[in-house]
Amino acid sequence: MNFELKALDLSGAALEKCEAMVLLFGGDFKPGKDAVSTLLSHALKAGDIDAKAGKALLAYRPAGVLASRLVLAGVGEGSTREVRQALGAAMGQLKGAKLKKIDICFAATPQTDALRAAVSTVADATYVYTSTKSKPEGRTVQRVVIGVPAVTGLQAGFERATATVSGVELAKEWANRPANHATPTLLAGAARALGKLAGIKCEVLGPTQVAKLGMGSFMAVAQGSEQPLRFIVLRYDGAAKTKAPTVLVGKGITFDSGGISIKPAPEMDEMKFDMSGAASVLGVFRALADLKPAINVVGLIPACENLINGRAVKPGDVVTSMSGQTIEILNTDAEGRLVLCDALTYAERFKPRAVVDIATLTGACVIALGAVRSGMFSPNDELATALLAAGDAAQDLCWRMPLDDEYAEGLKTNFADVANVAGRPGGAITAAKFLQRFTSKFPWAHLDIAGTAWKGGAAKGATGRPVALLLEYLLNPAAQKSQ
């Protein structure tokens, strides 16, 4: 989709020819002499609309306005949340109309965050999945003009917003794909395609190399499937080699059947989304290629299926991880931590300034936080604060969860250094405690996106989260300096 930032005051907006225009106005709206102002003043006076966010009024071919459809939507005080709400309501009014180009006009110049919220909300509302449709209907909206009274100071934020959209959409695309169209090999192909972009390098390791590295834990998960595993290494080098990189590790289980500890049938199809963490890493790299910031980033994706054949790993099997720690696999459905732990050990070689892993790790996190906030775990206060702030700024929220050592009690076993599951209580936290054992060499945070990476039900589909949070974290110079 093509976005354009354009200087448009209300009289300019009235003269803008388009199929549809959304006018976002706040409580501070002061009418001018133009046709849009007149119409809005009348509607306000009549009580058909007010500046509160969430309501929208559609006018068809209003007099003196060149837009065929004009949607008036209040944004209250203009916060990111209000802009999201307003555009949600406005886009609802335009549902069904097959529009190619729309204009979103701010009556008053927005804050950068609000402008970015507008870009991401419109992209979200118009995204359509097409990959495996025989007659794809596709997205009708191809062009979005964002009109603001003055563009001064908004260009950089706008560019970041459109790059974020391209990253979010790549993440959605790959997460949405069914598992037979997103095998570990195909996922590696997507990473290789990113490696063709300027500034990005991609290397893909297969079973032999992974065995040589001693990733016995990752290999144990992959051994129950006919699809060979892939270990994807992406690099974005925007700064000097001496500058320590941030490493992102994305869980890439392309389908999670649970293995021998098999999952129940209802909704098992949703386990095609179990590589959403990996997809978010791909999305971040897509955006980095566009934005070319002066930072170094490494992306690691352990990708495999968690399936069941005659060679599949069995409950009680003990494997040796790359770190040397032995692991008793009591539940083969707790496979995410088994692939992540070896990737975390691999991350040590980059001497990272920080490592953030992103994983649809536990159903328990869905119970704890629902679909609003991702679970964020870190023993490092600075890193945790930076991620929390990035989530707020990007409106891709997370919430810090505890990591007290007492939570690790249940991971003790008589037969290995550690077990891969504890009991049901605090399941998201015990999973994080397992991962923490592999992170002694660097500042580390873990994002459990099990509740936020996709929506179920009628609107079933990937959300592209937490691409926006991660980009905000990586691109915020304050956050970069803090470690």
**Active-site amino acid positions:** 263, 337
Task: Supply 426's token pair.
Answer: 């605090």
Return the residue of 333, 342, 396, 472 that touches Mn ion, per CB under 5 A: 333
Q: Between the CA of residue 25 and those of 64, 104, 146, 257, 274, what are the distances in Å?
A: 19, 11, 14, 49, 40
Distance separating alpha carbons of residues 169 and 289, to the nearest angstrom: 14
Rg (CA), the chain: 24
Residues that contact ligand BES, how many (by CB under 6 A): 16
From ligand BES, Mn ion, Zn ion, none, which one binds at residue 364 (CB under 5 to 8 Å depending on kind)?
ligand BES
Binding segment for ligand BES (CB under 6 A), chosen from 14-22, 36-44, 97-105, 361-369, is 361-369
* Residues binding Zn ion (CB under 5 A): 253, 256, 274, 336
Q: Hey, which residues does 476 pair with through a beta bridge? A: none
| Per-residue binder mask for Mn ion (CB under 5 A), 396-415, x = binder | --------------------
Query: Out of 124, 173, 256, 472, which residue is the one contacting Mn ion (CB under 5 A)?
Result: 256
List binders of ligand BES among 245-264 (CB under 6 A): 256
Interface region with ligand BES, contact rule CB under 6 A, candidates 169-177, 187-195, 363-371, 407-415: 363-371
Q: Count CA atoms within 13 Å of residue 243 on its CB side.
A: 13
Q: Does 282 bind ligand BES (CB under 6 A)?
A: no
Binding span for ligand BES by CB under 6 A among 138-146, 184-192, 290-298, 334-342: 334-342
Position 103 contacts Mn ion (CB under 5 A): no
Residue 109 touching ligand BES (CB under 6 A): no
* 364 binds ligand BES, rule: CB under 6 A: yes
CA 324/CA 351 separation, integer angstroms: 19
Cα-based angle 424, 279, 289 (whole degrees, multiple of 5): 145
Is 274 or 396 the residue whose CB approaches Zn ion more closely? Answer: 274
Quote the CA–CA distance of 223 and 207 in Å, as a whole number.
10
> 304 has which bridge partners?
253
318, β-bridge pairs: 328
Q: Which does 450 bind (CB under 5 to 8 A by kind): Mn ion, ligand BES, Zn ion, none?
A: ligand BES
Q: Which residues contact 180 (CB under 8 A, 6 or more apart)?
A: none
The reply to whether 357 sits near ligand BES by the rule CB under 6 A is: no
Phi first, then psi, for residue 220 (nearest 5°) are -65, -40
Which letter does DSSP use for residue 181 in this model?
G
Which partner from the list Mn ion, Zn ion, ligand BES, none does 288 bind, CB cut-off 5 to 8 Å by kind? Answer: none
Q: Does 363 bind ligand BES (CB under 6 A)?
A: yes
Q: Which stretch binds ligand BES (CB under 6 A): 43-51, 146-154, 330-338, 368-376?
A: 330-338
N- to C-terminal Cα separation, the chain: 36
Query: Is the omega angle on the peptide bond into residue 466 within 30 degrees of 0, that is, cis?
Result: yes
CB of residue 333 to Mn ion, shortest distance in Å: 4
Report 137-176 residues binding ligand BES (CB under 6 A). Answer: none
Residue nearest to Zn ion (CB): 256
Residue 206, contacted partner among ligand BES, Zn ion, Mn ion, none, CB below 5-8 A by kind: none
Q: How far is the CB of 217 from ligand BES (least distance, A)?
A: 14
CB of 335 to Zn ion, least distance (A): 6
List, as one string, the DSSP characters of 239-297: S-TTSPPEEEEE-EEEEE--TTSPPPSTTGGGGGGGGHHHHHHHHHHHHHHHH--S-EE
Nearer to ligand BES, 312 or 364 (CB): 364
Please identify, using beta-carbon distances, which residue of 159 and 270 lies nearer to Zn ion.
Answer: 270
Of 10-18, 73-81, 168-176, 256-264: span binding Mn ion (CB under 5 A): 256-264
Q: Does 334 bind ligand BES (CB under 6 A)?
A: yes
Check residue 368 for interaction with ligand BES (CB under 6 A). no
Task: Give me the sheet containing 56-60, strands edge to edge.
Answer: 2-7, 143-148, 101-106, 20-25, 69-74, 56-60
Element (DSSP H or E) covering residue 338: helix 336-347
Q: Are 96 and 62 in contact (CB under 8 A)?
A: no
Binding site for Mn ion (CB under 5 A): 256, 333, 335
Q: Report the interface residues with ligand BES, using CB under 6 A.
A: 256, 274, 331, 333-336, 360-364, 366, 421, 427, 450
